[in-house]
Structure 1
Amino acid sequence: MQQRAGRPIRRYAMPEPWFIPFEVTQAETLEGFISSQFLPRNEQMMRLQAAALLAEHPRWGYWLRSGTLHLGSQEGPPLRQVLADQPFLSAIGTAQLSQARALEFKRRLWALLAEFEQDEEGGESYALSVQLVRGQVR
């Protein structure tokens, strides 16, 4: 209770963590709920990526090779080679993994994220998005 002039005020608290089912949000489906969380942040990531790319080279596009497209600058593909000396990474791909290897990949990614998520004195902020899901994205 909080003491004050007049009657004391009772304060109630719920123990954390709290669970709020998506059904009580404005989302009609689980996919809509997830999209409402990821899409605005992904759009921000795309703006940051475009700004970083334009700061390095004025012209970007696709390079076609053996039926595949690779994002690259006018200087050449692929993106990972063009910006090899910059703290920049953008990739969408597919890996063929057994369930055991996929779980090991996930465990190692979590460990790597935990190692690097601590603020470094005088360090800059970097946005990061990592997703691993069974299936293919084209």
Structure 2
Amino acid sequence: MQSERVANPEQAELLLNPALGPLLARLCGTPAGAAVLARALGRPLSSTHAVLQRLVRAGLVTETLRPRAGRPLREYAMPDRWTVPFEVTPAATLRDLLASSMTPRVNDHLDGLAAVMTRLDCRWVIQVWAQDGHWQHNITPNVQPGPALEPILARGVDVRLSETRAREFARRFVSLIREMEDAQQEGEPVWSFTALLTPES
């Protein structure tokens, strides 16, 4: 199913729900039954079936019967492209819209980083200092050298750049991200990365 659809308010709420993302992504592939989807996602069959029925009622997912020995198999699928107009989203402002997609990712990063720091079982302190008119802070182990956190990275910085340099920075950054995406290795751990580059407001 390749056609692009325009979402209504009910569909927008479901399409933009981060918790449904893994299921929606699988529904855009080969049609599959509820049991197959539940196993792939590690979720109970009953709750997976309930969500599928809600998606069918909303007009997001099609339900078909595939003949087989005994009872036919109910299979589910959905178009892989949707357009969601801002006006039909639950967001009151553009900032709310951005937060709805970015906040869950940032929270996942914070949960993962805190879990690693907790496992290291050392005392953490916050160093604060002034630099170039900005008040900086850094969370670091109380002993040096501290435990190795690499390749885990958590860093924020403010730099003075021309628009040309900022564009070049963004281009090189995106190029590196694509390089890593193309070099993915099956069976290796998943590392999450989120980046924001914005001018000072």
Higher relative contact order (CA closer than 8 Å, sequence separation 6+):
2
Matches within 5 A, 1:104-119: 104-118=168-182, 119=184
- What SS does structure 2 have at the residue aligned with 1:31? helix
2:173 aligned counterpart, secondary structure = helix
Q: Which runs of 5+ in 2 are unaligned?
A: 5-79
Structure with higher helix content: 2
1:4-63: per-residue Cα shift (whole Å, max 9, x none)?
Answer: xxxxxxxx9634743211210111111101111111221111000111122234221202
1:93 CA drift (Å): 1.1
Q: 1:68 to 1:26 in 2, by over 3 A?
A: closer
State the match for 1:14 in structure 2.
3
**Cα pair distance change 1:13/1:115, threshold 3 Å:** closer
**SS state at 1:28 partner:** coil
Q: 1:68 to 1:103 in 2, by over 3 A?
A: closer
Q: Which position in structure 1 is the counterpart of 2:71? A: none
Q: Say which of 166, 178, 182 aligns to 1:102.
A: 166
2:96 maps to which of 15, 32, 37: 32
Q: Does 1:70 align with 2:138?
A: yes
Structure 1 alignment gaps of length 5 or more: 1-11
CA contact (8 A) 2:2 2:81 kept: no
Kept in 2, the 8 Å contact 1:57–1:73? The answer is no
Paired letter, 1:125: V
Partner residue of 2:193 out of 128, 133, 138: 128
Local SS of the residue matching 1:70: strand
Matches within 5 A, 1:51-90: 51-65=115-129, 68-76=136-144, 82=146, 86-90=150-154
Following the alignment from structure 2 to structure 1, what is the Cα–Cα distance between the partners of residues 129 and 139?
A: 11
Distance 2:121 2:142 in 1: 8
Native 8 Å contact 2:128 2:138 kept in 1: yes
Aligned-residue RMSD, C-alpha: 2.4
CA distance in 2, matches of 1:121, 1:49: 24
* Aligned residue among 31, 44, 48 for 2:112: 48
Per the alignment, residue 7 of structure 1 pairs with none
- Rounded to whole Å, the distance in 1 between the matches of 2:147 and 2:178 is 25
Q: What is the aligned residue count?
A: 121
- Structure with the higher strand share, 1 or 2: 2
TM-score, with normalisation over the residues of structure 1?
A: 0.75
Deviates more, 1:59-68 or 1:120-129: 59-68
TM-score of the aligned structures, taking structure 2 as reference length: 0.53
**Do the aligned partners of 2:126 and 2:138 also contact (CA within 8 Å) in 1?**
yes
